[in-house]
Amino acid sequence: MRRRSLLLACGAAWPVGAGADTPALVRQAEAGDVVALRRLLDAGVPVDTRDARRRTALLAATHANHIDVARLLIQRGADVNAKDEMQDSPFLFAGAEGRLEILRLTLGAGADLKSTNRYGGTALIPAAHHGHVETVRELLKTGVDIDHVNRLGWTALLEAIILGDGGAAHTEIVRLLVAQGAKLQLADANGVTPLAHAEQRGQRAIADILRRAGARP
C-alpha cells in the first residue's frame, strides 16, 4: 500500500496487473521533474515503460533536452536505443537535433551506431543536415559509418549539401566529413556527386573544399 500511495502522490495511476502507469513516468521526464521521477523509479516503476506513442521517459526527456533527467534515467538503466512509433530513439533524436550532452550520455551507455531512423539514416546524417557542428564532430569520434546511404540515396556529405544552406555551419561540417575520409565521388541515386550539388546551389566555399580534396563533378 505504501508503494501505491507514493505512486499516486507522484501523479501516477495504478493499473490492474503488473507494472506501473507509463504516462506518469513519461510526463515527469518531459516536465524535467527529477525529484518526482526519482520517487517513481524508487517505487518500482520500470524505467523503460512507454506512453501511447511508444516513447520511453528517456526519449521524452531527450525531446525536452532535460539533461539531468536523462542522466538519472540512464543511470537507472534506461535503454538508449529504444524506439518510438516514429523510429526515433534517445540516441538517434539527440544526434538529429543536436542534444550534445544527452548524445554523449547515450554514447557512454551503449548507443547502437548502426541504428537507423525512419529514413534509413544513422544519427550522423540528420546531424549534418541540421548543421549541428559539434554533434557531427562528436559522432565522427565514434567510428560511425561516415558513408552510410539512407533510403533517399544520401550520405551525410550529400545531405549537408543538398539540405544545408551553404553557410558557416554546413561548410564546417563538410570540412569535417572530408577530413575524416568521406567518399567524395559517392553520388546520389541520380548519379549527381557532392561537388555537382554544391556547384548547382552556389555553395562556393563547400565546392572549394571538395575540389581541394580531389573531388570531381
**Pick from 63, 84, 112: which residue ends a domain?**
112
Residue 56's DSSP bridge partners are: 50
**Pick from 55, 90, 112: which residue ends a domain?**
112
| 19 has pLDDT over 60 | no
Tens-place pLDDT, residues 171-195: 999 999 999 999 999 999 999 999 9
Same domain, 58 and 36: yes
Mean pLDDT of 76-105: 98
pLDDT band at 23 (very low <50, low <70, confident <90, very high): confident
Tens-place pLDDT, residues 93-126: 999 999 999 999 999 999 999 999 999 999 999 9
What is the chain's mean pLDDT, rounded? 91
What is the reported pLDDT for 54?
A: 96
**Pick from 95, 112, 129: which residue ends a domain?**
112
Q: Which domain holds residue 169?
A: 120-217
Going from the C-alpha of 91 to that of each of 51, 62, 132, the distances in angstroms are 18, 9, 15
| 153 has pLDDT over 50 | yes
For residue 201, give the 3-state DSSP assignment: coil
